[in-house]
């Protein structure tokens, strides 16, 4: 393990503990199994050897999108998962290349978006399908959206969820909840630890955001329409 990698992870861990809680769906419900076939369970190997989780979502047979703060030493992408204890029909694919956004700032978690290139092509099936991204023209404020993930389901629970959870969130546009190139939601329900990197899916079924951070019942998502040219450049 490189020292560089160890330092990076240390900084990340501190940032998350002090500042933010990301990754779990709080106040959600169990998703209908395989109703979100684009969902990726991302296993990240940390310098300590520990495996941690993030969410992600499948863009095509070669690329997964997640949050830049999900950076780790290596990754395994799991496709077709509902219950994490079931290995039936699951595809496990390693990652050959990572593309964290070059403007990602680990202090304020701006530009918290990353693309992962798979080492072999994902095989599409009923349980494994890509999701369309919101385009630059879809930049008007979506309202009714859903976040999903295998993260914590309660602030007091240390463990991650065994099944995929989802929760409704309403995107708001108020002064206190503004951040550049971000969407924001507020309230009792939202993503939590372990849901980071998962998609914010709105009325038209497209992915509008990437779960980034949450603090004091405010949740932030990297705003996909603002990153479309960067994404298209890498993915196409």
Whole-angstrom Cα distance, residue 92 to residue 42?
10
Instruction: State yes or no: is 148 an active-site residue.
Output: no
Element housing 231 (H / E): helix 228-235
Binding status of residue 129 toward ligand NAG by CB under 6 A: no
Task: Choose which of 3, 17, 102, 107 interacts with ligand NAG (CB under 6 A).
Answer: 107
User: Is 69 noted as a catalytic residue in this protein?
Assistant: yes
- Closer residue to ligand NAG, CB minimum distance, 42 or 148: 148
- The answer to whether the beta carbons of residues 24 and 160 sit under 8 Å apart is yes
Instruction: Tell me, yes or no, if 192 is annotated catalytic.
Output: no
- 141: CB partners within 8 A, 6+ apart: 171, 173, 183
Among residues 83, 168, 181, 187, the one that binds ligand NAG under rule CB under 6 A: 168
Which is nearer to ligand NAG, 107 or 229 (by Cβ)? 107
Query: What is the token pair recorded at 91?
Result: 């595809």
Q: What share of the chain is helix, strand, coil (3-state, %, to 5)?
A: 15, 40, 45
Interaction of residue 105 with ligand NAG, rule CB under 6 A = yes
Q: Taking CB under 6 A as the rule, does residue 144 contact ligand NAG?
A: yes
The answer for residues whose C-beta is within 8 angstroms of residue 188's C-beta and 6 or more apart is 26, 27, 217
Query: Catalytic pick from 182, 185, 196, 212?
Result: 196
- Give the active site residues: 69, 112, 196
Where along the sequence are the contacts to ligand NAG (CB under 6 A)? 105, 107-108, 144, 168
């Amino acid at each position: 393990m490189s020292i560089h990698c160890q330092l990076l992870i240390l900084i990340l861990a501190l940032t998350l503990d002090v500042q933010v809680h990301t990754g779990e769906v709080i106040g959600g419900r169990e998703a209908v199994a395989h109703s979100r076939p684009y969902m990726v369970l991302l296993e990240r190997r940390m310098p300590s050897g520990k495996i941690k989780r993030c969410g992600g979502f499948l863009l095509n047979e070669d690329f997964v999108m997640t949050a830049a703060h999900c950076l780790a030493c290596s990754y395994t992408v799991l496709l077709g998962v509902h219950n994490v204890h079931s290995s039936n029909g699951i595809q496990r694919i390693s990652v050959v290349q990572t593309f964290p956004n070059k403007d990602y700032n680990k202090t304020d978690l701006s530009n918290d978006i990353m693309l992962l290139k798979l080492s072999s092509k994902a095989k599409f099936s009923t349980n494994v399908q890509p999701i369309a991204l919101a385009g630059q023209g879809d930049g008007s404020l979506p309202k009714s959206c859903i976040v999903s993930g295998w993260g914590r389901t309660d602030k007091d629970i240390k463990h991650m969820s065994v099944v995929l959870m989802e929760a409704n969130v309403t995107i708001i546009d108020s002064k206190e909840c503004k951040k550049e190139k971000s969407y924001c939601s507020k309230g009792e329900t939202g993503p939590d630890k372990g849901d980071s990197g998962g998609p914010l899916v709105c009325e038209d079924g497209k992915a509008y955001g990437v779960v980034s951070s949450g603090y004091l019942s405010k949740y932030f998502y990297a705003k996909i329409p603002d990153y479309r040219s960067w994404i298209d450049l890498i993915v196409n």
